[in-house]
Amino acid sequence: MDISYPPETEAFRAEVTAFLAERLPAGWHGIGALDEDAAWAFARDWRTRLAERRYLSVAWPEQYGGRGLSKLHQVVLMEELARAGVPFGLPQDTFGVKMLANTLLRWGTEEQKNHFLPRILSGEDTWCQGYSEPGAGSDLASLTTRADLDPDTGEWVINGQKVWTSGAQHCDWIFVLARTDRDAPRHRGISFLLVPLHQPGVEVRPFRMMDGRPHFNEVFFTGARTRADLVVGGVDNGWAVAQSLLGVERGEEAATNPILFKAEVERLIELARLYGKDQDPVIRQRIAWCWSKVEIMRYLGYRVLTGWLKGAQPGPESSVSKLFWSEYHTKVTDLAMDIMGMHAQIPAGRPPLRTYRTDDPGAANSSASWSTTYQIAFSGTIYAGTSQVQRNILAEKVLGLPREPRA
């Protein structure tokens, strides 16, 4: 069953398709058809074009550089970008455009919005996330990184360590959860700080993933500093801000991820044809299972989107979508490995930009791309809250079950 869209969003779709027809080169087969260097060069240039048209900020208020449109317009944009085989920005835009910008729009001061939002949109400032610590991953409230006000300078002085910090080696700024009142209960006394990375007292140590690439990092703070006014949402109120950001991350993905996953399943079908597995009854059954899950995901996304359009903030129900897609993605990439057999063992390949064209046999048959996606798919069940944490959230906050006993 197809979902109908209101006339104003279809008019926006026509605008986007005209933009794509004008800007994409003749004979375009999607970014998946390009080699590694060409793909990243295209993605960087394409991000600039999207920013110029304010497509990166479709749902932001116009006064902060957005289009002032709805989340439904953003879904329409994602549909057309996926159909054309082009990315929505660069990987680090997940942290800047999606997470931090939406958090600033809700919690930031006017000074913070006016300074940071244009720089996020232009790409002048790139951001990473400083949440997890060696002893505070899923149990984030156990964090020990601390920030103290220097009475002489009025600056926050930060000491501690963050881990699993994606892309920190390439970023200018990090938003950090730090304990600013060590005597408060563990969910209180935490503040959400904006911290420059390029300063004495900050050390970024990349470590390599199984694909050989340094995607994640450890970040060490030893007397690092940031201005006193770079607290978002007020001092000691960081837990509420952090939960809001996670709700945006999970909730926005609920509406847009199904579009990307549908394109991926279509690519998987082409992969099965190329390997002569499209008539294998077991493979066909597993592909049908993937297709059905993506359709369920799509309607879950519409449910979250409907809440947004009515003015609701993402809540615990966004955990349903996060749990669903992350568990699903391990299965679909595992199927791709089985289809390709020994060809899937190629360990190298660029980190996927999560967008492909189904009429591009080169992209569909790229064992390097599928192999890399397979290797990182399991991490989706860990970051932004593990599957176990999502189940606890749903059990306690939605179903009203008693809290899990703790040691």
Q: Is 207 exposed, middle or buried (0-12, 13-18, 19+ CB in 10 A)?
A: exposed
d(CA 88, CA 243): 24
Active site residue 249: yes
Q: Dihedral angle at the C-alpha atoms of 113, 94, 90, 330, nearest 10 degrees?
A: 180
Amino acid at position 182, single letter: R
Can you say whether residue 208 is alpha, beta or left, with left for phi > 0 and alpha for psi between -120 and 50 degrees? beta
d(CA 24, CA 324): 34
Measure Cα distances from 400 to 68, 230, 322, 392, 407 in Å.
37, 37, 20, 10, 21
| CA-based R_g, the chain, Å | 22
Classify 133 as helix, strand or coil. strand
d(CA 4, CA 95): 31
Q: Are 256 and 74 in contact (CB under 8 A)?
A: yes
User: What DSSP line would sit under 197-252, residue for residue?
Assistant: SSSTTEEEEEE--TTS---EEEEEEEEEEE-TT-EES-TTBHHHHHHHHHHHHHHH
The percent of the chain in helix, strand and coil, each rounded to the nearest 5, is 50, 15, 35
Count of Cβ atoms closer than 10 Å to residue 310 Cβ: 7
Q: Active-site residue among 249, 253, 264, 317?
A: 249
- DSSP 8-class letter at 66: S
Q: Is 2 exposed, middle or buried (0-12, 13-18, 19+ CB in 10 A)?
A: exposed
User: What DSSP line would sit under 304-354, residue for residue?
Assistant: HHHHHHTTPPP-TTHHHHHHHHHHHHHHHHHHHHHHHGGGGG----PPP-S
Residues marked as catalytic? 249
